[in-house]
A and B are shown apart, each in its own frame.
Chain A
Amino acid sequence: MSNLSAVEPPDNPARSNETGHQDHNLLELRGIRAAYERIDVLFGVDLVVPEASVVALLGPNGAGKTTTLRVAAGLHVPSAGDVLIAGRRVNGAKPEELARHGLCMIPEGRGIFPNLTVRENLRMMTYVGRSLAEIEEIAYSRFPRLAERRTQTAGTLSGGEQQMLAMARGMATEPALLILDELSMGLAPIIVAELYEMVAQVARSGVSILVVEQFASTVLGVADYAAIMVHGRIERAGRPDELAADLSKAYLGG
């Protein structure tokens, strides 16, 4: 599948790492600080995504959720702290290298190339080392509608179809770690529900997932763990049911 290794999941995703179980975690962020130019955004984020589990990252606008994901995917270089993947420090690794080693991030908005056809979009997924035929097979079997539209320019697809195409990368490349940023943005609730059904399927196949989502209730149905982020820090972390009460407080700034 990939070169990211696998061990048992521990209990608490945002617990500190002194217990010596860090090898059990597929992704671990330790004391991440990050800034855009001179504006600090993250003030020491500790976050753990255990093997084969879904972690939801929740929080109000501007809390630093997207930046945290960008740091994990190598798109943003943190000013301090460590990023560990499968126990290996990957600070400063380039996003394309992480992608080739089994990290798949689907960014906010539509994670597709609008001026490329559906098939060309799928061809871009072959950098992970799979053939176009394999990718097409998985993508079209999961999303038959994409097969009908394979020669169409991706920008002309409906919003839901575009997000399916983006999601197809998360499935067809069979990553070890899937990072999803606001999958629901601008989509009808029914399509959101459909997409999260896919996310649940991917999770059941053993892929670790870190997901940021505004629709907290939707994502908490899929997540094994959740962390609430406020003002560039992880405020609370735990099982989804433990956090439900804290959630409104975090969003409404209580």
Chain B
Amino acid sequence: MDKFLTFTIVGLATSAIYAVIASGLVLTYTTTGIFNFAQGAIGMLAAFTYWQLRFSWGWPTPVALIVVLFVLAPLFGILIDRVIMRGLQDTSETTKLVVSISLLIGMIGLAQIIWDPNVSRPYATFFATSKPLAIGPTTITWHQLITIAVAIAVAIGLRFLLYATRIGIAMRAAVDDRPLATLNGARPHRVSMFAWAIGSSLAALGGILIAPLVPLEAGTLSLLIISAYAAAIFGRLRSFPLVFVGAIVVGCTEGYLSGYLPQNQYLPGLRLASPAILLFIVLLLLPNPRLRGRTRSREFFPMPSRRGALGFAAGVTAAGVVLATTMSQPDLVTYGRVFSVGIIALSLVPLVGFAGQVSLCQLSFAGIGAIVMAHLGHNGNPIALVWAVLITAAIGAVIALPALRLSGIYLALGTAAFAIALDRWIFTLPKFSVFGLFNIDLFQQGSVSVDPLRLFGFTFDTPGSQMVLLSSVFALLSLLVVAIRRGRFGRRLLAMKDSEAACATLGLNLLGTKVTVFALSAGMAGLGGALLGSQLSSVSPQNFDLVTGLPIFALAVVGGIGAAGGALFGAVSLAGLLPLLAALLPSVSQYLVILPGLAGIGLGRNPNGAVHDLREGFMPIAKSRIVLVATVVVLAGLYAIRMLDAIDNWTYALLTMTTPLVAVVAATLLRRERADGVVPLEWRGVTEPWTDDDVRDLDRVLGLTEVELHGAARG
């Protein structure tokens, strides 16, 4: 009984923290429609800042608290709202998700820049020296008492704010009908700014309260909040009382798990993973609240042409060969992950880009693929690749079944929970056997070695040969993705993304379609993971955890998740440009960790993705046959010169990169010369935008008198 009471108190204190953070999350979600994945990261930053002020600089506790909670955190919230979130109206759920995930990545990076992760930072609880209070047979520490009191105060304060003040009522009004709130005279920007300021302040409060109880580490602290997400979902992202109930359920469950879970070698990971598992259960069992608003999305991904796809695949393979033959061994090791990460990113294209189903656990599938490769691919047996695809596809299909009833942010949270459960529990399991039939030994509680792949008697054991192999696999898979997009299955996926209801009324089997696309995508990720594993030669769970996977997702979406090029863009910037920048500018290399975050945050400005712009930019080359041929010839020539060692790598790289730019200029000039008055009338508006001049020409040919473009002649 004493034990029960003790863990109830522990659980309630944790619940109180979750409740505070979750209510901030719900506040910003309901008033602005943005589910802030970075809520935990705000708390994390606040915890670090408080540590800095209070323990490093020795400020008095009240001053440090006031500065963090009432000055810095609200200002930070306002900054996020003004600079980032305001641009996200009318963007898709995926874009919003990527922006807030990028914020999370960026903030973890920022914390690691400012506070060296290798330094230990002692963090005292409040009134740590005071004696705990006795309640009956057990005791409660002052910190626990304060935490619970704070949560109650927050509950009362929020209730007062939302029901008794005009700005609070305006926040709730904005949830109901934002345009109507403006017609009443409420200033919506002020309302959302206020919500972000309070939400961020609550996150900070939770962060400071939780920090003394766990190691002060940016990633852990940011994801600890996954329990608060479960509480928020429990409150259906809307009802504050239910959020508090949810927080108590989640917090107490965690408390009792730590008290009553039997001690054996399989279960410590389960306790760490329990918040994620609880989140998953809450997502599955509770009816998902309707997501806010219909998103009229600004995104547009054109259908890839056969010719373009073949050109892209050929280009990728050529790039692989060129890199493999020109780069030094150490460089090949550094940049070798471009195409294996690319394959994992590519697995997102059918799932997220076509079907609109968000998955944050692709890297976990890759991890499973790598395990399969490690255990079944002795001496590089290529059958292991087949197994890797089949096993991950099967797991993907199994994950898809419960995930079927989830969509949007719920699906994102569910897959993130799955990834965390794998990271913290499954991947750390020691050897175990299933029904005494198989012995499964995942990462051997550390790392496993993976043999290089052998195919047709050739062993891919050098970085160069792996580069060629991976680029060809990427190229083939990109053709597969294009074939899907152009085929019947792709049309089904796109239709499902646009309207599930409409698809159901047309008799489309949503269940089969979703399971298939999940399995396909998981299989691709598994293949990527298996190849990555055999490239790295030794893999550990850290290679495949959620936080490592998030930048891949974010950057692929930044590149443009609707096309294979977007996946390549994501992989090149993550595994190619970042190491390159670090090599070029060693003095700032530590600051580069926030770049993926910044790139994702920039997505709000250009939801079609960077590749879309790049393609538009380089389109003139493809349109002019002469220039296209000339470009290829020049590139091949440069490669030949490089192979003869007449120029060094830097010169070669520079010339190779400038060639397409010169080609664009040349193509544009050539076309302008030819275009003067020669474009036939029936081709107007097809290759170039329709202009008033075209209307005039058309009128002249048809013998019409000049008419104003949109009429109004009768008015």
Contact = CB atoms under 8 A, between A and B. Distances in A.
Interface of A: 31, 33, 40, 43-44, 46, 73, 75, 94-96, 99-100, 104-107, 111-116, 120, 123-128, 169, 233-235
Nearest to B711: A43
Given A96-B187, A96-B188, A123-B169, A75 B179 contact: yes
Contacts of B180: 107, 111-113
A118 B170 CA distance: 14
B714 A127 contact: no
Interface in B687-715: 710-712, 714-715
14 contacts: A75-B182, A94-B187, A96-B182, A96-B184, A113-B172, A113-B173, A113-B181, A115-B176, A124-B169, A124-B170, A124-B173, A124-B181, A124-B184, A126-B166
Given A233-B715, A234-B715, A125 B184 contact: yes
A238 B540 CA distance: 80
A43 B707 CA distance: 14
B712 A116 contact: no
B714 to A, nearest CB: 7
Nearest to A35: B710
Contact of B183 (A46, A95, A126): A95
Contact of B712 (A111, A124, A233): A233
Contacts of B169: 116, 120, 123-124
B582 interface: no
B712 to A, nearest CB: 4
B699 to A, nearest CB: 18
CB-based closest 9 A-B pairs: A127-B185, A44-B712, A99-B185, A113-B176, A95-B182, A43-B710, A96-B182, A100-B185, A124-B184
Name B's interface SS: helix
Given A73-B183, A95-B179, A115-B172, 8 more contacts: A44-B711, A44-B715, A46-B715, A96-B187, A112-B180, A120-B172, A124-B181, A126-B166
Interface string B154-176: 00000000010010011011011
Interface centre among A111, A127, A235 (most CB of B within 10 A): A127
Contacts of A116: 169, 172-173, 176
A27 B183 CA distance: 17
B172 A75 contact: no
Contacts of A106: 183
B183 A111 contact: yes
A191 to B, nearest CB: 21
A58 B595 CA distance: 55
Nearest to A124: B184
B714 A233 contact: yes
Contacts of A235: 714
A100 B188 CA distance: 13
Contacts of A96: 182-188
Given A94-B182, A111-B180, A113-B180, A44 B710 contact: yes
A46 B175 CA distance: 35
Nearest to A103: B183
A115 B173 CA distance: 8
B177 interface: yes
Contacts of A43: 710-712
B183 A105 contact: yes
Nearest to A123: B169
A94 B182 CA distance: 8
B183 A107 contact: yes
A128 B186 CA distance: 9
Contacts of B715: 44, 46, 233-234
A217 B163 CA distance: 42
Contacts of A95: 179, 182-183
A223 to B, nearest CB: 21
Contacts of B173: 113, 116, 120, 124
Interface centre among A105, A106, A234 (most CB of B within 10 A): A105
Interface string B491-519: 00000000000000000000000000000
Nearest to B179: A75
Contacts of B176: 113-116
Nearest to B163: A120
B184 A99 contact: yes
Interface centre among A113, A123, A169 (most CB of B within 10 A): A113
Contacts of B181: 113, 124
Nearest to B715: A233
Contacts of A233: 711-712, 714-715
Contacts of A113: 172-173, 176-177, 180-181
A20 to B, nearest CB: 21
A186 to B, nearest CB: 17
Nearest to A120: B169
Interface string B584-609: 00000000000000000000000000
Contacts of B170: 124
B488 to A, nearest CB: 29
B185 A128 contact: yes
B166 A123 contact: yes
A124 B186 contact: yes
A104 B185 CA distance: 9
A99 B181 CA distance: 10
B184 A75 contact: no
B83 to A, nearest CB: 20
A119 to B, nearest CB: 10
Contacts of A234: 715
A232 to B, nearest CB: 8
Given A46-B715, A75-B179, A123-B166, A33 B185 contact: no
Interface centre among A114, A124, A125, A169 (most CB of B within 10 A): A124
Interface centre among A31, A75, A116 (most CB of B within 10 A): A116
Interface in B389-420: none
A165 to B, nearest CB: 12
Interface in B656-715: 710-712, 714-715
A106 B180 CA distance: 8
A40 B710 contact: yes
A169 B180 CA distance: 12
Contacts of B188: 96
A128 B179 CA distance: 16
A81 to B, nearest CB: 11
Contacts of A120: 163, 169, 172-173
Interface centre among B172, B181, B188, B715 (most CB of A within 10 A): B715
Nearest to B298: A37
Contact of B182 (A46, A99, A111): A99
A115 B166 contact: no
A252 B344 CA distance: 58
Nearest to A230: B714
Contacts of B182: 75, 94-96, 99
Nearest to A169: B184
Interface centre among B163, B166, B172, B185 (most CB of A within 10 A): B185
A113 B173 CA distance: 6
Contacts of A127: 166, 184-186
Contacts of B712: 31, 43-44, 233
Contacts of A123: 166, 169
B175 A115 contact: yes
A107 B715 CA distance: 27
A46 B180 CA distance: 26
Given A113-B176, A123-B166, A126-B166, A99 B183 contact: yes
A158 B182 CA distance: 24
B459 to A, nearest CB: 56
A108 to B, nearest CB: 11
Contacts of B186: 96, 124, 127
A109 B166 CA distance: 24
Nearest to A74: B182
Contacts of B175: 115
A99 B186 CA distance: 9
B613 to A, nearest CB: 19
Contacts of B183: 73, 75, 95-96, 99, 104-107, 111
